[in-house]
Structure 1
Amino acid sequence: MSSDDWKRQAAEHALNYVKDGMRLGLGTGSTAAKFVDLLGGKVRDGLKVVCVPTSETTRLHAASLNIPLATLDQYGSLDLTIDGADEVDEELRLIKGGGGALLREKIVAVASERVVIIADISKRVDVLGRFPLPLEVVPFGLSATRRLVAALAGDCGCEGEVKVRVGADGAPFMTDNGNHILDCAFGVIDDPEALDDALKLVPGVVESGLFLGIADVGIIAGPKGIEVLTGIESDFDEEI
């Protein structure tokens, strides 16, 4: 089986957490897109849900499947968010933001009663950092922000290239919020909590792709089947 098949398996398993009448957050990325496809089929068959997308890409995808959509301002809180991740460790700490939607993804996740992460086995790591850590940053003072990020990360033992993400046109990538992304190739992040605290001291950093203590359940699909991880502080009932 391919990683595409495993992504679909994880998305199928996540559907078991979705109940009629729920307010759902819809993530962004290739694995989250598999879930949106499956959810669209359930809605077509009569499932009643209303969903808040975490990006314009996800909004257009969900709308094309006639999934009922709303904004977070309309509801304030959600029952459940299903999203992917670029890395997942044993403690359900995540790196997210490869698709450039990390700010909205974090806002929606924190506004949700429960968060389920779906991923294929390639995203499972022992230590975060192999995938470059994305940071959403404001365009103003970009070079100064980049230098301060590198300096404070170095104080936390994280060293590596910090570069501005560029789009297909060669210009700096622009998020749905009008910001840029710094991709930080640290290789290993031994203390994600300390790094996250340090990055919050940088005025130009809007949000980091470290999702710590946010996910309740991780569904990892691979050649040995489905692995379900539960967050240390989660009280999510694993029975589905």
Structure 2
Amino acid sequence: MAIAAATAAALSSLSSSSSPSRLFLRTPRALTPRTPRRPRPFSVKALSAPALTQDDLKKLAADKAVEYVRSGMVLGLGTGSTAAFVVAKLGELLKAGQLKDIVGVPTSKRTEEQARGLGIPLSVLDDHPRIDLAIDGADEVDPDLNLVKGRGGALLREKMVEAASKEFVVVADETKLVDGLGGSGLAMPVEIVQFCWKYNLVRLKELFNEEGCEAKLRLNEDGKPYVTDNSNYIVDLYFKTPIKDGPAAGKEISSLEGVVEHGLFLNMATAVIIAGKTGVDVKTK
């Protein structure tokens, strides 16, 4: 009876305790389910491709044109910003061993310096009068693949080299496309001898009065006449309306005494590679 009474007293004491929860084991912290965290808000910004610059487009066209090149070819190397990308790519392929035994015939001193610096073997028309392929840029391209060239000042050498080529591939960006030659409103160059240049400037302007032509002697930044690699001057013709008959215009310009060459490259291009924002397009006749 004494034991039963003691047990009952102990239970009574525990039941009256202020902390009844101590009768139970605590659930381990690791097993306690956690209230899931609300995910932090986030946003995804649409990433748009960077717009292609004019130099990007020129490089795209140049890379495509170099696909025409094969080892062992004699190549006409053009002049200008687009042609410089072609020469640079040729230098890369030579260095990597992907092209071998090519020979370049440069169309200007500027191109010659660039090609020589890249290790491209060079020659001249006297030693290679038959060229496999010429690649060059253009200032204007019409729907018949006729061209205006020479705003870089190398039109005489360009025309000589490209006329001697079995194939002439032109590289350009879409801004060079025109409905008719002279249609861009930019210069159509004519190379003339220095002797009595004003006399020929006036005669060139009078040839194209109907097209509202303006004729200007090309000047350097210092205000002195620009001199070509062949020691000639350049008269730049600016047309308000496109030239109506390219072959007839070229013939009339060439008939003037003192004219060395003009920038109309007619029926010469075998393919024109145009780089635009939607891709590269190859036009052939």
Normalised by the size of structure 1, how large is the TM-score?
Answer: 0.93
Amino acid at match of 1:135: V
Instruction: For 2:129 and 2:86, locate their aligned partners in 1 and report how far apart those are by CA, in whole Å.
Output: 23
**2: CA distance, partners of 1:58 / 1:173:** 18
In 2, distance between residues paired with 1:30 and 1:84? 8
Letter aligned with residue 178 of structure 2: V
Question: Which residue of structure 1 aligns with residue 23 of structure 2?
Answer: none
Counterpart CA distance in 2 for 1:176 and 1:148 is: 24
1:72 aligned counterpart, secondary structure = coil
In structure 2, which of residues 195, 198, 216 is the aligned counterpart of residue 140 of structure 1? 195
What does the per-residue CA deviation read over 1:210-238, in whole Å, with 9 as the maximum and x for residues that have no partner?
Answer: 0000111000001111111113xxxxxxx
Q: Which residue of 2 aligns with 1:202?
A: 256
Per-residue displacement from partner, 1:110-157 (whole Å, max 9, x unpaired)?
010100000011111111112221000000010111111112223xx3
Pairing partner for 2:96 from 21, 37, 45: 45
Cα offsets for 1:53-96 (capped at 9, x unmatched): 00000000001100111111111110000000000011100000
> How much has 1:162 moved relative to structure 2?
0.2
Helix, strand or coil at the partner of 2:126: helix
Larger Cα-atom Rg: 2
Q: Secondary structure at the match of 2:211?
A: coil
Runs of 4+ residues over 3 Å off in structure 1: none
* CA deviations over 1:186-222 (Å, ceiling 9, x no partner): 1321211111111011111110000000111000001
Matched, 1:153 2:208: yes
Contact 1:153–1:199 (CA under 8 A) maintained in structure 2: no
Name the amino acid aligned to 1:202.
Answer: L
2:169 matched to 1:116?
A: yes
Q: How does 1:33-182 map to 2 (within 5 A)?
A: 33-46=84-97, 47-48=99-100, 49-129=102-182, 130=184, 131-154=186-209, 157-182=210-235
Q: Relative contact order: is structure 1 or structure 2 higher (C-alpha 8 Å, sep ≥ 6)?
A: 1
SS in 2 for 1:37: helix
1:4 counterpart (55, 58, 64) = 55
* Alignment partner, residue 283 of structure 2: 229
Q: Between Structure 1 and Structure 2, how many residues are aligned? A: 229
Task: Identify the range of structure 1 (158-167 vs 172-181) with the bigger mean alpha-carbon deviation.
Answer: 158-167
Amino acid at match of 1:222: G
Q: Flag structure 2 segments of 5+ consecutive residues without an equivalent.
A: 1-51
* Residues in 2 aligned to 1:140 and 1:4: alpha-carbon distance in whole angstroms: 38
Q: Secondary structure at the match of 2:208?
A: helix
User: What is the alpha-carbon distance in structure 2 between the residues aligned to residue 207 and residue 73 of structure 1?
Assistant: 20
For the Cα contact (< 8 Å) 1:127–1:189, is it kept in 2?
A: yes
**Partner Cα separation in structure 1 for residue 123 and residue 218 of structure 2:** 30
Quick check: 1:81–1:112 contact (8 Å CA) kept in 2?
yes
Q: Which amino acid aligns with 2:244?
A: D
Corresponding residue for 2:65? 14
- Segment of structure 1 superposing worse, 91-100 or 38-47: 38-47
CA contact (8 A) 1:52 1:71 kept: yes
* Offset from partner CA, 1:16-59 (integer Å, 9 cap, x none): 10011000000000000011111100111221200000000000
Displacement of 1:158: 2.7
